[in-house]
């Protein structure tokens, strides 16, 4: 597999996730719009600002008798339905972020395998396993890919090799024209992915989580750190009534007269992963012809 193939495969998967994210947003916005319109009509007719919009029934099947029994019904107002839609949209956004990290991790594995295949002096000896050194020259890309899949602590262990191999990558990772600490964001996304997959996208130990991300990003100095990094991570837990990771768009305080402007939280995180992937590909090209 060639480097361009690896990158194009990654970008194609990322594009599909971006399209899915946009579709989910459109569906949610349309549903909310329709509910608000219905709310206005009901208010005009009944004068009630928030009457019952729907009734949901829930059933359970008895494995002994085979009978189906209704065990609960829930009345929901329009406002409650809108809240349900928003929470479900956020849950979908969480899974998109999780998948974004997975395809990024896959990209790193394949690009690292490619780098080792093209320049066998870059890999540390332990990454080759028990193979005899004289046999390495005859190994194809698939060997390097399989060896990389067994590498521990991915993505950090791979990114450390890139930092040591490409000084420009190490510099741009934290100081760039985007004014984004890409290392911090990768670590944030990795930890969020773990919480999304294993804890339903919420944590009861927000402060410990934030400190853990800051430490792994090399921004912890004997218990001291820049408050802007803490505040940045903390902003993803912006609902006071829950400990959920919130990835929903934030309406901006635009002063330019244009309506409906938003800060797109999820897209910005996904774009950071894409920027890192693009940077890595270009750095590999500098030493692999």
In the predicted structure, residue 49 carries a pLDDT above the cut 80: no
Chain segment 20-44, per-residue pLDDT in tens: 999 999 999 999 999 988 888 877 6
Residue 49 exposure: Cα atoms within 13 Å on the Cβ side = 0
Predicted confidence at residue 45, as pLDDT, reads 67
Chain segment 118-139, per-residue pLDDT in tens: 999 999 999 999 998 889 999 9
**Domain range list for the chain:** 85-285
C-alpha Rg value of the chain to the nearest Å: 24
Cα–Cα dist 139/213, whole Å: 38
Predicted confidence at residue 104, as pLDDT, reads 98
Residue 128 exposure: Cα atoms within 13 Å on the Cβ side = 19
Chain segment 247-283, per-residue pLDDT in tens: 999 987 655 544 557 889 999 999 999 999 999 999 9
Look at 63-77, 89-103, 111-125, 187-201 and tell me which has the smallest mean pLDDT. 63-77
Arithmetic mean of pLDDT over the chain: 92
Chain segment 187-197, per-residue pLDDT in tens: 999 999 999 99
Record the pTM: 0.90
Chain segment 100-114, per-residue pLDDT in tens: 999 999 999 999 999
């Amino acid at each position: 597999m060639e480097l361009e193939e690896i990158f194009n495969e990654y970008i194609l998967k990322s594009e599909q996730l971006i399209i899915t994210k946009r579709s989910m947003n459109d569906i949610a916005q349309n549903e909310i719009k329709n509910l608000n319109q219905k709310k206005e009509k009901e208010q005009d007719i009944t004068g009630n600002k928030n009457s019952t919009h729907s009734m949901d029934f829930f059933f359970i099947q008895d494995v002994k008798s085979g009978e189906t029994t209704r065990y609960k019904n829930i009345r929901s107002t329009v406002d409650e339905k809108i809240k349900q839609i928003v929470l479900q949209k956020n849950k979908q956004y969480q899974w998109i972020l999780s998948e974004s990290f997975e395809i990024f991790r896959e990209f790193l594995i394949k690009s690292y395998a490619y780098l080792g295949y093209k320049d066998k002096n870059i890999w540390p000896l332990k990454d080759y396993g028990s193979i005899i050194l004289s046999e390495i020259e005859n190994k194809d890309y698939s060997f390097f890919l399989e060896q990389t899949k067994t590498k521990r602590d991915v993505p950090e262990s791979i990114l450390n090799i890139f930092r040591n191999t490409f000084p420009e990558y190490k510099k741009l990772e934290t100081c760039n024209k985007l004014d984004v600490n890409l290392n911090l964001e990768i670590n944030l996304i990795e930890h969020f992915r773990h919480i999304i997959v294993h804890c339903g996208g919420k944590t009861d130990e927000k402060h410990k989580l934030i400190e853990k991300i800051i430490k792994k990003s090399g921004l912890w100095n004997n218990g001291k750190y820049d408050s802007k990094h803490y505040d940045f991570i903390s902003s993803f837990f912006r609902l006071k009534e829950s400990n959920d990771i919130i990835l929903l768009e934030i309406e901006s305080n635009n002063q330019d007269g244009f309506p409906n402007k938003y800060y797109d939280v999820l897209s910005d995180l996904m774009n950071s992963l894409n920027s890192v992937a693009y940077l890595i590909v270009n750095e590999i090209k500098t030493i692999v012809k």
